[in-house]
Amino acid sequence: MLFRYGRRVELRHLRYFATVGEVLNFTKAAQKLRVAQPALSRQIRDLEEELGVQLLERGVRATKLSEAGAVFLVEARAVLERADKAVKAVRDVALGERVEIHVGYAPSLTIELLPCALHSFHNIAPSVHVKLHDLSSEEMLRGMGEGKFSLCLVARPEKESMRGLKFELLQEYPICVGVPSDHRLAQAKSVKLAQITAEPLVAYSRTEYPEYHAMLKELFASTGSELRIAEEHDSAPSLIAAARIGRGFIIGPACLGMLAGARLKFRPLTPAPPPVQVGALFDPARLSDGVAKFLAAVRSSAGK
Amino acid sequence: MLFRYGRRVELRHLRYFATVGEVLNFTKAAQKLRVAQPALSRQIRDLEEELGVQLLERGVRATKLSEAGAVFLVEARAVLERADKAVKAVRDVALGERVEIHVGYAPSLTIELLPCALHSFHNIAPSVHVKLHDLSSEEMLRGMGEGKFSLCLVARPEKESMRGLKFELLQEYPICVGVPSDHRLAQAKSVKLAQITAEPLVAYSRTEYPEYHAMLKELFASTGSELRIAEEHDSAPSLIAAARIGRGFIIGPACLGMLAGARLKFRPLTPAPPPVQVGALFDPARLSDGVAKFLAAVRSSAGK
DNA sequence: GGCGACCATACCTGAAAAGCATCGCTATGC
DNA sequence: GCATAGCGATGCTTTTCAGGTATGGTCGCC
């Protein structure tokens, strides 16, 4: 890496470049920005130098974006927009009601809970916008740690990853086996673990859903038989798609059945292992007013 | 609005604040940033003034984040991260191969097409990352105009909104009626429009999917009967959920049936109206190498 | 060939960011 | 109770650099 004398990119550079990129004329852009044209030229040159990339092609009688420039124009606008949002967000918080709360959720586990909760929350606090983030368990824990989310609806995480967060149980789903509808096990009322150990499994990805793998390991520990995972997937739909085309069975909560449609059947395992616990994860130390209301809405939707 | 003497927020302010917010100690943060402590103090004060918000509570012996400060810390980090991404993106473009292409898609219309296309594209150009953006028709057209996306997989947009873009047809789906499985129409092989005019509909939202509403209007124009829309939704899953609980029928492409599962049946309309056309939308003027390859992959997946 | 549109260069000025020394506060230790 | 150490704020100077003015070069066009 070259040693960089250059100073850092600032929002000013991006504002200037965005304007030049739009009107494709330094003189006009300078007027629009209320600065002198040479000042603008220099800032753009500095930016190009700092990036090490030529953004504009100054042909005589016409200024054009280079290919890189076209890309950077989009990027620069996005950064500026993001920055405006940040400023607006903090001013809103300071002015009183926070208008947005960020909620992470596990889509497959909350298809029952989430719609009800959103509906009832909208009645309690119609002015608060809920921003939903569809994430893996792992991303949610990370995001909670960084303060990105105020609350997450997830399966109970493992104790050691909680780090001061609180988990409040809301719903439980029995563990089931998902099999193709035309398989003989689809007829059974329930399935014994021993009946499926011969079959490979399709599973959630280990890195993104560690608690899911802990559950599987626990489950198979007692049987003595080997846990064979044919494929790992990072979302319920693709897991279901894989099971449909016969890559393996699914072991997972009963609610997956609601996503799966007709071609898979979910049958409870016997003896029933501990059910999957779905609940709210939040930081009790910084529970703002809006988040507390959301939590109340979720509780009432779960009938607790 | 108050007149602001203050100067604008710059990335420097955010970098400084992010560091202070992390270590919660001006002196240490200043060392980390390689500036003198008073310089840092002043920048933070300027930032607070410009925002009109107190971000830090300077208790003696301990600096703490205010509530607004906690929010802004997350926001500031996000802006910085976004800015880094922008810089990295443009340098990557300049260095040769663009490593990312941005593709917008209509999730419900591309459940067949998209997985195949991604798979085949990965074989052609494994080094190119495809960033997928799940969007409404309206958002895609806007994003294409701004250059945010290189290509979109969508239903054919209305002519007047194309503005120099090209639409290439890839797949067609017949228009169907989605009814609850226990409804008598679910038994029918096909459904006449006259059979359902008594029933209300659940539909995609008008603002986000104008071409869908154009299609409905067209469809009902010939019948003389009134188009009754009970609810508008902004995504296929919530549309399907609404139909499941009996809010109304769905009129839409056959591929919705693959998302709906067992509790809804999709039956073709007779006489068959013009099918829904799914295809690729792109700007032929700036078709980079990577995007051209992606387009080829999509074509071959659609068997064209 | 003169003019006008357009951007670059050279140089100057002023604002503000950074540095340095110092102050004020308070918790802590003897 | 006094000295001390940790922390941030304040006042002042220095340095940096964004912005301004004047001007020059290039090219297309009348």
Q: How far is CA B70 from the centre of its chain?
A: 28
What's the pLDDT score for residue B16? 93
Q: Are B295 and B124 in contact (CB under 8 A)?
A: no
DSSP-assigned letters across all residues of B231-282: EEESSHHHHHHHHHTTS-EEEEETTHHHHH-TTEEEEEEESPPPPEEEEEEE
Given a cut of 90, is residue A263 above it in pLDDT? no
What's the pLDDT score for residue B234? 78
Residue B227 region by backbone torsions, left for phi larger than 0, else alpha for psi between -120 and 50, else beta: beta
The structural domains of chain B, ordered by start, are 11-94 (1.10.10.10), 97-171+278-301 (3.40.190.10), 175-274 (3.40.190.10)
The C-alpha atoms of residue B62 and residue B296 are separated, in whole angstroms, by: 60
Half-sphere exposure of A28 (CA within 13 A, CB side): 10
C20 closest protein residue (CA to C1'): B36
Mean pLDDT of chain A: 87
Question: Which residues touch A34 (CB under 8 Å, ≥6 apart)?
Answer: none
DSSP-assigned letters across all residues of B179-197: EETTSGGGGSSSEEGGGTT
Task: For chain A, give the percent of residues with pLDDT over 70.
Answer: 96
Q: What phi, psi does B91 have (nearest 5°)?
A: -65, -40
Neighboring chain A residues of B94 at a CB cutoff of 8 Å: 51-54, 68
What's the pLDDT score for residue A275? 94
Q: Report the pLDDT averaged over residues A242-264.
A: 84
The larger pLDDT score, comparing residue A250 to residue B288, is at A250
Alpha-carbon separation of residue A252 from A30, A156, A199, A204, A216 (angstroms): 61, 14, 15, 9, 9
The packing angle between helices A26-33 and A37-51, to 10°, is 110
Strand C and A223 CB separated by under 7 Å:
no
Residues 4-43 of A with CB under 7 A from strand D: 7, 12, 34-36, 38-39, 42-43
Q: What is the pLDDT of residues A5-59, one digit of tens each?
A: 557 899 999 999 999 998 899 899 999 889 999 999 999 999 998 898 889 988 7
Q: Which residues pair with A173 in a beta bridge?
A: A276
Distance B12 CA to C16 C1' (A): 13
For residue B20, give the 3-state DSSP assignment. helix
CB pair distance less than 8 Å for A82 and B78 = yes
Task: Report how far apart the first and last C-alpha atoms of chain A are (Å, whole number).
Answer: 58
Q: Report the pLDDT averaged over residues A150-159.
A: 92
What's the pLDDT score for residue A155? 93
Strand C and B36 CB separated by under 7 Å:
yes
What's the pLDDT score for residue A4? 43
Half-sphere exposure of B197 (CA within 13 A, CB side): 13
Alpha-helical segments (H) within A100-197: 113-124, 137-145
Q: Are B6 and B16 in contact (CB under 8 A)?
A: no
What's the pLDDT score for residue A97? 62
| Other CB atoms within 10 A of residue B267 CB | 19
The C-alpha atoms of residue B178 and residue B183 are separated, in whole angstroms, by: 10
Distance B95 CA to C11 C1' (A): 36
C22 closest protein residue (CA to C1'): B38
Distance A17 CA to C6 C1' (A): 17
For chains A and B, CB pairs below 8 A equal: 120
Q: What phi, psi does B196 have (nearest 5°)?
A: -120, 0
Q: Are B97 and B168 in contact (CB under 8 A)?
A: no
For residue A103, give the 3-state DSSP assignment. strand
Burial of B227 (0-12, 13-18, 19+ CB in 10 A): middle
Q: What is the DSSP letter of B37?
A: H
- What Rg do the C-alpha atoms of chain A give, in angstroms? 27
Q: Report the pLDDT averaged over residues A151-173.
A: 91
Q: What is the pLDDT of residues A86-145, one digit of tens each?
A: 999 898 888 876 668 899 988 889 888 888 888 888 888 888 888 888 888 888 999 998
10-residue mean pLDDT series, chain B (304 residues): 60 93 89 90 91 86 84 93 92 77 88 84 85 86 89 92 90 93 88 88 89 89 83 80 83 87 85 92 85 91 79
What's the pLDDT score for residue B1? 34
Q: Are A131 and A101 in contact (CB under 8 A)?
A: yes
CB pair distance less than 8 Å for A78 and B78 = no
Residue with tokens 């916008």: A129
Strand C and B8 CB separated by under 7 Å:
no
The C-alpha atoms of residue B139 and residue B35 are separated, in whole angstroms, by: 44
What's the pLDDT score for residue A181? 85
Neighboring chain B residues of A83 at a CB cutoff of 8 Å: 9, 14, 79
The C-alpha atoms of residue B229 and residue B199 are separated, in whole angstroms, by: 9
Helix (H) or strand (E) holding B295: helix B289-301
The C-alpha atoms of residue A189 and residue B56 are separated, in whole angstroms, by: 60
Which residues of B touch chain A, with CB atoms under 8 Å apart? 8-12, 14-15, 51-55, 67-68, 70-79, 82-83, 85-87, 89-91, 93-94, 98, 146-148, 238, 241, 260-262, 286, 288
What's the pLDDT score for residue B124? 87
What's the pLDDT score for residue B6? 55
Which amino acid is it at B23? Answer: V
